[in-house]
Amino acid sequence: MRNEKLQAGLLLVDSKLKLLHFNSEAVKILAYPTGPERIKRLDVFLSDRVRSGLVEERATESPTFTKEFKSGNRRYTCRTFTLEPQEAESFRRATVLLLERNPFRVSALSQAAQMFGFTPRENQTVELLLQGLTSKEIASRLEISPNTVKAFVRLVMVKMGVTTRSGIVGKIFISPS
């Protein structure tokens, strides 16, 4: 088996989903199985793929992006980061899309969520906890209070029969399913 370093795909889109920038790994991920060199209008192709494969909900002000998607037989997580303009006229709000392949973490979390009956918010909290975020950082990402995050973590601990945050991580990744 080849030992290849997993690269992340990176895209930058504006609030109207116009493609501003991208890296070669994003092209490989979104174009699969077609070779990128065979695509004539790469910018148009990528914009279409973002709209059709990565957007869950198109709201009037800002779209909602999917958290997970499939390209071929591979599963990718899609993390988003919003960039605010410094000045009202300098540029529109933009979104960074980070496409990462981490099937083990996604699969392990999905199995744990199903096994222990996590609510959607508990699942989001655990997902961010697995990324190493603190309660304050999780609260900021989910736009809730740190005390609410702590309540979700306590509920997950009770459901999983553990007493610490590291117990959650251990039970998801170390325990046999």
In this structure, what CATH number is given to the domain that contains residue 111?
1.10.10.10
Residue closest to 165 by CA, chosen among 141, 132, 138 = 132
Q: Show which of 76, 101, 126 is a domain's final residue.
A: 101
Q: Show which of 101, 124, 148 is a domain's final residue.
A: 101
Residue closest to 109 by CA, chosen among 60, 161, 68, 147 = 68
What pLDDT score was predicted for residue 5? 47
88: containing domain: 9-101
43 inside domain: yes
Together in a domain, 118 and 82: no
Q: Distance between CA atoms of 90 and 53, rounded to whole angstroms?
A: 29
What pLDDT score was predicted for residue 82? 83
4 inside domain: no
Residues of the chain with pLDDT under 50: 1-5, 176-177
Q: How many domains does the chain have?
A: 2
2 inside domain: no
CATH number at residue 58: 3.30.450
Q: Distance between CA atoms of 171 and 37, rounded to whole angstroms?
A: 44
22 inside domain: yes
Question: Using CA of residue 48, residue 43, residue 19, residue 133, what is the dihedral sign?
Answer: positive
Together in a domain, 29 and 83: yes
What pLDDT score was predicted for residue 121? 94
Together in a domain, 91 and 161: no
Together in a domain, 112 and 143: yes
What pLDDT score was predicted for residue 88? 59
What pLDDT score was predicted for residue 125? 94
> For residues 19 and 94, is the Cβ–Cβ distance under 8 A?
no
Spatial neighbors of 103 by CB under 8 A, at least 6 apart, are 74, 75
Q: Show which of 81, 101, 121 is a domain's final residue.
A: 101
Together in a domain, 112 and 48: no
Spatial neighbors of 94 by CB under 8 A, at least 6 apart, are 12, 13, 14, 15, 20, 82, 83
Together in a domain, 129 and 50: no
